[in-house]
Structure 1
Amino acid sequence: MKKDIGFQDEVLDKIDVDSGQQQSASSYKRRVIELFEHAGITVNGKQDYDIQVKDERFYQRVLAQGSLGLGESFVDEWWDCNKLDVLFAKISQAKLNHYAPHNVKLWLASLEAKLFNFQLPETALDNASFHYNIGNDLFMAMLDKRLTYTCGYWKNALTLDEAQEAKLELTCQKLHLEKGMRVLDIGCGWGSFARYAAEKYAVNVTGITLSSEQVKLGQQLCSDLPITLELKDYRDIRDKYDRIVSLGMLEHVGSKNYNTYFQVVADCLEKDGLFLLHTIGNNISSPGTDPWLDKYIFPNSHIPALTEILPAFENYFVLEDLHNFGGDYDTTLLAWHKNVSKHYDGLRKNYTKRFFRIWKYYLLSCAGLFRARQLQLWQMVFTKGRPGVYLSVR
């Protein structure tokens, strides 16, 4: 059976444009066209980044459902665009969300995010499985040769493989790894960092993830190295480590759990240890996440702002280094999309056409947001405050 992570709308509020609703439909259309004009986007225009509308119901759906309706109507082929990444960069730069109408459902979702903890241990496994268990064949086709599913470092790189190796090397240098050290990798994926660190620096690595598919393949890839990969929640870690690293994991922790997260890391880190945190960051503090990404890609995820991270670690760590290379995520996402497109014929036997539209929208819309610098990529190095433990490598 082909895989399709999309949800068909259970109820699509009878969005009709028949004769009895022509006047309203015309009003919806005019409002949406004016909205996109704020970003320099022409509906049915001639530029590659212009939206080409194929179904007139698109206009009411966008006004009624905001970014969720925009994404779902793309997946349903109600509209198209040759350059989705450019489109979303322009939408972000123009801050169209300031012009868009308020939506009661989205307001309620934001309120729920403030009130409830959606990243508890009993839900965290389902959240991770939804995305990371989609299929190892997809990720093997999309990612670099090491299967690194985080932002590459493109400063001196020309290819995705080079960019990911440069990121892993930079990470190892910041951690000041030494032979024989015990290293913990929280959110280890398929073990790309673990393998690199064990091969290049002769350290012993324990990696944890909540994806059974990642553990299954990762254990095979790491079987000849001093690496242990486990299906485990970060809240269940008990051992002590010389170094701790977490690449692309904090986005799944949830703001209500940041204090617990940093406390766990502090409890497991030796007094002279180093902790490197690598996370996507938001320019502004927001309780929720984009509703389309939440529904189709990363359920119950949360992209933190610095104002949310800082209070959570202040009782445990000293921040020694903060490095932002968020612009490199744009290039990384484009490389991932190029790889998926290149391997489309080999993948389509296992995935539906609808899935590929979801995946295209995910990769290219996010590329546009990073290009517009709405989103960042931070690497932070922490110590427990002991002098001389960390020396900057930059």
Structure 2
Amino acid sequence: MNDNTKLIERAATQIDAASELSARAGRGRFWARPLCRFLARSIKTGTLTLILPDGTRHRFGEGEPHVTAAITQIRSLRRIAINPDLALGEAYMDDTLRIDQGDIHDFLDLVLGNLGDATQSPLRKAWRLLHRLTRPLVLFNPAKRSQRNVAHHYDLSDELYDLFLDSDRQYSCAYFSSPADTLEAAQERKKRHIAAKLLLTPGQQVLDIGSGWGGLGRSLARDWNVSVTGLTLSEDQLAYARTQTHTAGLCDKVRFHLRDYRHETGRYDRVVSVGMFEHVGPGHYGTFFQTVADRLSPDGIALIHTIGSSGRPGAPNPWIKKYIFPGGYVPSLSEILPVIERSGLTVTDVEVLRLHYAATLREWRHRFAANRARVAALFDDRFCRMWEFYLAACEAGFRHKNLVVFQIQLAKRKDVMPLTRDYISAIGSVRDRQRR
């Protein structure tokens, strides 16, 4: 091969490479246009600088805070433009969404705080319609699937949850009296608030559906002298709950079982469920509330504490469904109350906790960040990024979107509660003084 041939081939290779770069740049610009238009319509408060795979920088909004994010691959850019609800979290997990100024919490807080009506773009409407149409299949939760779904999240590692929860492992919304409360104080207040709504008296039998690591059950038995039966589908939670109960010397008052709520047969004075109803699924609401009614004594009281939506019924967030809570669903009141009416139970009180979970998630996020190296040693960096996105996205959702927490009090008779709600704060205040 002579020198001229080599030069020609080298030139052809360079032309091919340049053509590919040009084609890639064209594809990048194609997917960048709808994304940038969306952000330009949405970001008004605060400043977002977005760096695209070709290095171009686009600035949206004005004022504080300033956040800079970079999408490093055209593939990620395309997927985010088409389906941001799923692809944004995946890009952050894969490190193809990089936060150069601020962190993932700052980015999500800025974006979700600005979205408003921009969430109703035609493409997002189409995706949400698809999610709603496939909801019955996604949320079908018979007993065996429910146990697999629970294990996906809760049977990860005992040490993981110790690294960001309070010492009692309360993995649900705390009850803050002010933003200055510690996580421990707010979780203790949550348990007292629930106990007050249950109107507990010594010797009563309490069923705890979705008992988790057993902290609520042990607190009710210790502080209110009741007997508690806890049900969980997590083997790791069951083992921990039984060990802690033995250590606390409460085995005569608290029992835990690996059992689906549909298989419980006892009769109880009180039924409580905290942070479990989100895993039931709309197709099983009738069975759930009929089970509560069947397990509850004629003069009994039940309290259901669940994440909910203050908006219309929707569909699970696809990223949360895929990576964090398979089978999980956040219900609207309009989906819950008609089912309760058919069960024969009476709704005696509904409290909506608005920003309490945002404050709870903020504390979890800070503790997770402080222990990130230890989490990475247990799992890997991608897992850490997944959980950083999960905690930050949920906090922003509770702060800026329609996520809330419902506490729904139920009874079979109207006259088992006092005439006014004053008893709730009165009982809590007495218990505070006794503890001090």
TM-score by length of 1: 0.90
The amino acid across from 1:293 in the alignment is I
Question: What is the CA-CA distance between 1:47 and the residue it aligns to?
Answer: 4.4
User: Which residue matches 2:31?
Assistant: 28
User: Which residue matches 2:216?
Assistant: 193
Alpha-carbon distance change, 55 to 293 in structure 1, aligned in 2, over 3 angstroms: same
Alpha-carbon distance change, 116 to 182 in structure 1, aligned in 2, over 3 angstroms: same
The answer on whether the counterparts of 1:65 and 1:103 sit within 8 Å (CA) in structure 2 is no
User: Which residue matches 1:177?
Assistant: 200
Question: What is the CA-CA distance between 1:342 and the residue it aligns to?
Answer: 1.6
The answer on whether the counterparts of 1:129 and 1:211 sit within 8 Å (CA) in structure 2 is yes
The answer on whether the counterparts of 1:274 and 1:381 sit within 8 Å (CA) in structure 2 is yes
Equivalent residue of 1:69, what SS? helix
Given the alignment, which residue of 58, 78, 81 partners 1:63?
A: 81
Question: What is the CA-CA distance between 1:231 and the residue it aligns to?
Answer: 0.7
User: Which residue matches 1:278?
Assistant: 305
Structure with more of its chain in strand, by fraction? 2
Question: What is the CA-CA distance between 1:50 and the residue it aligns to?
Answer: 4.2
User: Which residue matches 1:3?
Assistant: none
Q: Percent identity?
A: 30
Residue 153 of structure 2 is aligned to residue 131 of structure 1: yes
Matched residues in 1 for 2:23 and 2:68: separation?
A: 30
Question: What is the CA-CA distance between 1:54 and the residue it aligns to?
Answer: 3.2
The answer on whether the counterparts of 1:84 and 1:368 sit within 8 Å (CA) in structure 2 is no
Matched residues in 2 for 1:319 and 1:234: separation?
A: 21
Alpha-carbon distance change, 191 to 312 in structure 1, aligned in 2, over 3 angstroms: same
Alpha-carbon distance change, 206 to 382 in structure 1, aligned in 2, over 3 angstroms: same
Alpha-carbon distance change, 294 to 117 in structure 1, aligned in 2, over 3 angstroms: closer
Question: What is the CA-CA distance between 1:343 and the residue it aligns to?
Answer: 1.8
1:176-200 residue CA offsets vs partner (Å, 9 max, x unmatched) = 1111111011111000100111111
Matched residues in 2 for 1:92 and 1:172: separation?
A: 35
Question: What is the CA-CA distance between 1:105 and the residue it aligns to?
Answer: 7.0
Alpha-carbon distance change, 359 to 384 in structure 1, aligned in 2, over 3 angstroms: same
The amino acid across from 2:318 in the alignment is P
Matched residues in 2 for 1:102 and 1:57: separation?
A: 19
The answer on whether the counterparts of 2:375 and 2:384 sit within 8 Å (CA) in structure 1 is no
User: Which residue matches 2:434?
Assistant: none
Matched residues in 2 for 1:125 and 1:115: separation?
A: 17
The amino acid across from 2:203 in the alignment is G
The amino acid across from 1:143 in the alignment is L
Farther-moved stretch of structure 1 (341-350 vs 64-73): 341-350
Residue 250 of structure 2 is aligned to residue 230 of structure 1: no
Farther-moved stretch of structure 1 (281-290 vs 305-314): 281-290
Where does 1:381-392 land on structure 2 (aligned, <5 Å)?
Answer: 381-390=409-418, 392=421
Higher relative contact order (CA 8 A, sep 6+): 1
Where does 1:1-394 land on structure 2 (aligned, <5 Å)?
Answer: 18-40=21-43, 41-44=48-51, 47-81=65-99, 82-93=102-113, 94-95=115-116, 96-99=118-121, 101-102=123-124, 107-114=129-136, 117-156=139-178, 158-223=181-246, 224-225=249-250, 226-315=253-342, 316-390=344-418, 392=421, 393-394=424-425
Gaps of 5+ in 2: 1-19, 52-58, 426-436
Matched residues in 1 for 2:346 and 2:21: separation?
A: 63
Equivalent residue of 2:42, what SS? coil
Farther-moved stretch of structure 1 (206-215 vs 371-380): 371-380
The answer on whether the counterparts of 1:66 and 1:103 sit within 8 Å (CA) in structure 2 is no
Matched residues in 2 for 1:314 and 1:85: separation?
A: 40
Equivalent residue of 2:83, what SS? helix
The answer on whether the counterparts of 1:64 and 1:103 sit within 8 Å (CA) in structure 2 is no
Question: What is the CA-CA distance between 1:130 and the residue it aligns to?
Answer: 0.3
Matched residues in 2 for 1:181 and 1:326: separation?
A: 31
The answer on whether the counterparts of 1:66 and 1:100 sit within 8 Å (CA) in structure 2 is no
Farther-moved stretch of structure 1 (337-346 vs 43-52): 43-52
RMSD over aligned Cα atoms: 2.1
Matched residues in 2 for 1:354 and 1:133: separation?
A: 18
The answer on whether the counterparts of 2:313 and 2:335 sit within 8 Å (CA) in structure 1 is no
Alpha-carbon distance change, 30 to 105 in structure 1, aligned in 2, over 3 angstroms: closer
Question: What is the CA-CA distance between 1:122 and the residue it aligns to?
Answer: 2.2
1:304-359 residue CA offsets vs partner (Å, 9 max, x unmatched) = 00110011101322111111122011111111111112222333221110000000
Gaps of 5+ in 1: 1-16
What is the count of residue pairs matched by the alignment?
378
1:166-219 residue CA offsets vs partner (Å, 9 max, x unmatched) = 000111111111111110111110001001111111111011111110001111
Matched residues in 2 for 1:117 and 1:252: separation?
A: 9
1:231-253 residue CA offsets vs partner (Å, 9 max, x unmatched) = 11111111001111000111000
1:114-141 residue CA offsets vs partner (Å, 9 max, x unmatched) = 3565211121110110001111110111
Alpha-carbon distance change, 35 to 116 in structure 1, aligned in 2, over 3 angstroms: closer
Question: What is the CA-CA distance between 1:86 and the residue it aligns to?
Answer: 4.3
TM-score by length of 2: 0.82
Farther-moved stretch of structure 1 (240-249 vs 103-112): 103-112
Equivalent residue of 1:178, what SS? coil
Structure with more of its chain in helix, by fraction? 2
The answer on whether the counterparts of 1:183 and 1:244 sit within 8 Å (CA) in structure 2 is yes
The answer on whether the counterparts of 2:209 and 2:232 sit within 8 Å (CA) in structure 1 is yes
The amino acid across from 2:225 in the alignment is A
Farther-moved stretch of structure 1 (160-169 vs 107-116): 107-116
Farther-moved stretch of structure 1 (337-346 vs 260-269): 337-346
Alpha-carbon distance change, 370 to 75 in structure 1, aligned in 2, over 3 angstroms: same
